[in-house]
Amino acid sequence: MRLADLSKRSGISVTTIKYYLREGLLPPGRQLNATTAEYGEEHLRRLRLVRALIQVGKVPVATAREVLGHVDDESLGRTIRLGAALWALPQEPEPDEEDPAVVAARAEVDRLLHMLGWETARELAPLSPVHRSLVVAVAALRRLDFPWDAELMAPYAELMHQVARRDLDFMESHASEAEQVELAVASTVLFQPVLRALHRLAQEEESARRYGIE
């Protein structure tokens, strides 16, 4: 398809697509002549991902470029490729390692991972911003006298493991590894609000069943 067709199918203006091309967010099309290029379904798919990152996730262009660089890095194994792309998304700042709440939270998170047998998560912990985010969240709870420990977190972690299995089952329903990694990144940006909303709806439903609505 030509640029105008790509714009029409994606709902993104030609000007914006040209900007994404200049910024390296969208790979160039196949050059037909000096002034015309041809684009394929992979460009349409990438545009959806770019729009999810920038317009929905509010990810800065430079960060989006870094994320997409990991998505396209075929030299990485699938787990590292996916992890690197997701880790490049905006994350929590580094916690204060001298804060007693952070020290206690880190110990409980490590104990949780040991209890669950999540050895890969333990090995990647020093590098993982996701691990850091969990430590920061647990530390905040502990400062407010909600002493969440490994035993309290374990049932929630096991439920989220079931969600992760469904995520990967859905991801693997797509043909290419590039599509799978793109989908995982897009889902992280787009699907997190769905999970939060479902959690709150489930709380409302369970509360009504237990206590009524009057």
Q: What is the mean pLDDT of residues 140-149?
A: 91
pLDDT value at 88 more than 70: no
More confident of the two residues 53 and 142: 142
Q: Which domains are seen in the chain, by residue range?
A: 3-77 (1.10.1660.10), 100-211 (no CATH)
| pLDDT band, very low/low/confident/very high, at 179 (cuts 50, 70, 90) | confident
pLDDT-derived band at 141, boundaries 50, 70, 90: very high
Residue-wise pLDDT tens digits, 70-87: 777 777 777 777 676 666
For residues 109 and 123, the answer to whether their CB atoms sit within 8 Å is: no
Length of the chain: 214
pLDDT of residue 23: 92
pLDDT at 188 over 80: no
Average pLDDT over residues 189-204: 88
DSSP string, 142-170: HHTT----HHHHHHHHHHHHHHHHHHHHH
Within 52-118, residue ranges assigned H as helices are 61-71, 78-87, 100-116
Whole-model pTM: value is: 0.71
- CB of 173 within 8 A of CB of 184? no
Residue 135 has pLDDT above 90, yes or no: yes
Q: What is the pLDDT of residue 155?
A: 96
Residue 53 class from Cβ within 10 Å (0-12 exposed, 13-18 middle, 19+ buried)?
buried
50-54, 63-67, 74-78, 178-182: lowest mean pLDDT where? Answer: 74-78
